[in-house]
Each structure stands twice: as C-alpha cells, then as structure tokens.
Chain A
Amino acid sequence: KAGVTQTPRYLIKTRGQQVTLSCSPISGHRSVSWYQQTPGQGLQFLFEYFSETQRNKGNFPGRFSGRQFSNSRSEMNVSTLELGDSALYLCASSFGQSNSPLHFGNGTRLTVT
C-alpha cells in the first residue's frame, strides 16, 4: 500500500511569509503527527492529530499550527517565518496507539531566507 506522502518536497520562503505543508497518511491511519528536524536540535515533536482533533502539542510557538481533515490528511502552517524555521519537516501516521509503529514520510525541506 502507498506510504506517507508529503508535499512539497522542497520549499524556499522569505522571512515574514507563511507556509503550508501537506501530509497524506497511510490509508486507515487516523493519527498524524508532525516533527521538525534540525542538525542542532535533532527530531522534535510539533503536534499530533487524531480524528480531526489535536491530541498533543510540543513546545513550539503559536506560529506553528495544524489541522486534520475528515480523510485524515493533515496540513501544518507556519506563519511569520523566521530564519530559524529552516528545517526538515516530517509527518508520521499511525493507528494511534502507543504500540503501533509510526510511518514517516520523506519530509519537506523548508529554507527561509
């Protein structure tokens, strides 16, 4: 079956702009979580959505937001971009239990100039 799909693959934005990233989970998965990966901080949890509701949120400012649609597809939005937001953004889908594996996409590489 198809894996987790993230679009776009690469993105270049300017400081102050906003950006929307998309994630299509594996069919049947109701949980989508988002992560930011940078060389300095590693892989950090942003938030998780389950059945269109945000279940958990990491320690990121309110400029980072997301949503999930009825078909489980998810988007994350970053407003007022800063240079430090340059990172690889990964999403992962799962059935939503702690013993169900996370399936990751290959990420969106965001560069803020």
Chain B
Amino acid sequence: DAKTTQPNSMESNEEEPVHLPCNHSTISGTDYIHWYRQLPSQGPEYVIHGLTSNVNNRMASLAIAEDRKSSTLILHRATLRDAAVYYCILRDSLRSNSGYALNFGKGTSLLVTP
C-alpha cells in the first residue's frame, strides 16, 4: 500500500498562509488523497480530499502535483484554532473493500503563533 511522508512539525504566524506538504511517491492512479486534522483532545476531523485536480472548500485548498507524487494542503489565513496535527492519507478506490483507511502515521504538528 502506498505510504505518505510528512514533516514532523511546522510553525506559522497567525493570519499568514500555511503550506503543509505531503509526499506520496508510490501513489497509484486510483488513490484518493485525503487530509484530516486532529485538535487536542478530539478525534480527527476531515479537511479535504482530491484525486487529480486541485480542490477548494471552506476550510482549505488542496494542490496536487501534476505527477501526483506530492500534494500540499493550503490554509489561506492561519488562526490559532488551526493549531493541530494534520494527516495526509491515501485511500484506494479500486480495492474491493475501499472504505477503510490505513495507518495515519504521526502527521505534521502545526504550531500557530500570534
């Protein structure tokens, strides 16, 4: 199964954009890229997902490289409430039992400073 690699931690100033990278060099053509975040003392929260094209929603934007071997989660204006652990995972659409997700790993811990 394809794996993802993320930096352990990143830091940003409040109200500035944040670009969280994720490498997935062994991604297959049928893998969806999902991003989740986990705030302290809570379960992970869905942020965004995409397959090939860049995606935008009210929380963030997802930029997917043309070769799909990497992606970037973009928070346009970081707030203190965005301080969380961000996970990038892959979910294969062709597996017959594709509803699950593999190990999330340790993600990227984002620190936002005022």
**A interface vs B, CB < 8 Å?**
4, 31, 33, 35, 42-45, 48, 50, 55-56, 58, 90, 92, 94-107
Q: Which residues of B are at the interface with A, using a C-beta cutoff of 8 A?
A: 32, 34, 36, 38, 41-46, 49, 51, 87, 91-93, 95, 97-107
Contact A102 B32 (CB under 8 A): no
Contacts of A35 in B (CB 8 A): 104
**Contact yes or no, B41 A106, CB < 8 A:** yes
Q: Which residues of A contact B42 (CB under 8 A)?
A: 106
Give Cα distance in the complex from A7 to B30, angstroms.
35
| Most B C-beta atoms less than 10 A away, residue of A4, A92, A95 | A92
A43 contacts B32, C-beta separation under 8 Å: no
Asked whether A48 and B99 contact (CB < 8 A) given A42-B104, A101-B34, the answer is yes
A-B contact pairs, 30 of them (CB 8 A): A33-B101, A42-B105, A42-B106, A43-B87, A43-B107, A44-B103, A45-B101, A45-B104, A50-B97, A56-B97, A92-B43, A92-B101, A94-B99, A95-B99, A97-B98, A97-B99, A98-B92, A98-B99, A99-B93, A101-B49, A102-B36, A102-B44, A102-B46, A103-B46, A104-B36, A104-B44, A104-B45, A106-B41, A106-B42, A106-B43
Task: Please measure, in the bound complex, the distance between the C-alpha atom of A101 and the C-alpha atom of B34, giving whole angstroms.
Answer: 8
Report chain A residues within 8 Å CB of B101: 33, 45, 92, 102
- Contact A48 B97, beta carbon cutoff 8 Å: yes
**A-B residue pair count with CB separations less than 8 angstroms:** 82
Identify B46's interface contact among A42, A58, A101, A106, CB under 8 A: A101
Q: Which residues does chain A contribute within 8 Å of B45, judged by CB atoms?
A: 104
> Which residues of B have CB within 8 Å of A4?
43
Q: Which residues of A contact B34 (CB under 8 A)?
A: 101-102
Across the interface, A56 reaches (CB within 8 A) one of B46, B100, B107, namely B100
* Complex CA–CA separation, A101 to B45 (angstroms): 9
Say yes or no: A31 contacts B104, CB within 8 Å: no
A35 to B91, CA, bound (A): 15
